A and B are shown apart, each in its own frame.
Chain A
């Protein structure tokens, strides 16, 4: 089967699994349902990162900037102007898109560390702005009571017992779970189509050798701007829905450098520049962390994990990245292919070397 086929199959499998999971009685408690919903939003951010950074090789260390830009725009518009969310979410996405296109201007001129430095600073500036305008943004404490994504589930009647309310709450969570899943599936399919199309091929080629792409008659600037546009659009879309799911907007939730770092970790772990790898990486990072915490809470012998969870997790990551540099998923799926690739490369080098000697 072609690599393209494998990607679609893996996506189908993942979406099918996540669709069925809540329907199996007892498979998911509400806690894990919300954990997966969080992971699904996180996966959208990671997907948006990968189409830009994984494909063109320009690494952004500050993608939470787009989550925050879109999230704050949509949240504040709906909070202060009482606009419905179907109007504020597009505004948030447009804000993110505009900033993405703006950022592509220095990105076209700056290479390597300079570009990365800019992306690192962007969310820090945004956090500063949030604090400066704290009368509007709520500063460090953020703003709550952001309108939620509406569901058909009625609010709990005041005269109902706790059991009724609980059932309604679970139902509500389930709706939110499927909203996130639907959005992620749409984004993932769109990005798989784009990344396996000519656009994806050109972006990969730019990562490999930009000058050679220009020499092939392709305007690399245009395609890099396009990648910025797609990326900021996708991350903005996820970010806007995310704050309405949370019903709060907090700088440490949507803008923090930790979030940006996690995005990179998930992509690298899954295998950047493959779309499907980072998607699995996103779930692995989020659910893995939560799993460790859960284990610490339930098994007394593992209690030390409470303090050590993050440490162990990060240490494991370093090992994994070291062992499987092209990402864990490609290493698993494409092991034979990659081994061949390595052999080819070695052979190639030998033949070049022998030429130089002769």
Chain B
């Protein structure tokens, strides 16, 4: 089943065509890789899906519903969550409170019980490996830390935990490996595999194929805002046009 269906999406900034007649879809339960050189328009595609930017034309359908131009919070509540390329946490709130915001319902008078929310925050902490929680007391060892003191790898986990906290059916990850040490890259890869095993549908952005190969089912290659090709990781990495695009883009 197609969980996300993007058709003829177009977006320009002034004279710059950032996204040009782009169509692709995401199937339920798969991990789709979205790759392309610097400035190819990958983040812009996420911004369009999330309603942060309004497309010039084209449609975005999520779970059969057209969500084009919906406000961000509605899209999130419909079941799409994203992890930003640059972490956007609440720097004056600790880890627990950071995740808590994602679990709070968008209602002024919400009578959902507090214990339920607490449990949800703990689950997010634990399933992202952000903290290890005590089984009986429910106490987690990292919850009172401020994000500013977390190492990069843990910060990325926090960002994933904040996204998971909204109960997404589709998770958008924007360059989750950027700026991480090789060991941290392994850890985050492991986390993504784990999420996938739990049935999470994911779109994964990265600069290049290397880190993605083992993780993704299918790849869409973007170049100058256009879809260059689409296929299995192997097909894509063997395609001469893709290699050429990366050379032209100044990056291998």
Contacts and interface: CB of A to CB of B under 8 A. Distances in A.
Contacts of A226: 108
A216 B162 contact: yes
Interface residues of A, number: 32
Interface in B55-78: 71-74, 76-77
Contacts of B2: none
Interface string A315-358: 00000000000000000000000000100110111011001101
A209 B90 contact: yes
Contacts of B151: 351
Interface in B10-30: none
Given A205-B90, A208-B92, A220-B73, A347 B149 contact: yes
B166 A344 contact: no
Interface stretch (B94-102, B202-210, B213-221, B223-231): B94-102
A201 B101 CA distance: 7
Contact of B81 (A215, A344, A347): A215
Nearest to A220: B73
B146 interface: yes
Contacts of A31: none
A216 B102 CA distance: 5
Interface string A204-220: 11001101111111111
**Looking at chain A's contact residues, is the secondary structure mostly helix, strand, loop, or mixed?**
helix
B193 interface: no
A254 interface: no
B148 interface: yes
Interface residues of B, number: 38
Contact of B73 (A199, A217, A355): A217
A202 interface: yes
A94 B85 CA distance: 45
A198 interface: yes
Contacts of B84: 215
A222 interface: yes
B91 interface: yes
B108 A222 contact: yes
Contacts, number: 95
Contacts of A217: 73, 76-77, 102, 106, 166
Contacts of A345: 91, 146, 148-149
B166 A216 contact: yes
A356 B152 CA distance: 10
B233 interface: no
Contact of A205 (B50, B101, B146, B150): B101
Contacts of B91: 208-209, 345
A351 B149 contact: yes
Contact of A219 (B73, B145, B146): B73
A101 to B, nearest CB: 14
Interface string B138-153: 0000000111111110
Contacts of A212: 88-90, 101, 162
17 contacts: A198-B104, A198-B110, A204-B92, A205-B101, A208-B90, A209-B89, A212-B101, A214-B73, A215-B50, A216-B73, A344-B145, A345-B148, A347-B148, A347-B149, A348-B149, A348-B150, A358-B181
Closest 10 CB pairs of A and B: A348-B148, A217-B76, A208-B90, A344-B149, A348-B149, A216-B102, A214-B72, A212-B88, A217-B77, A344-B146
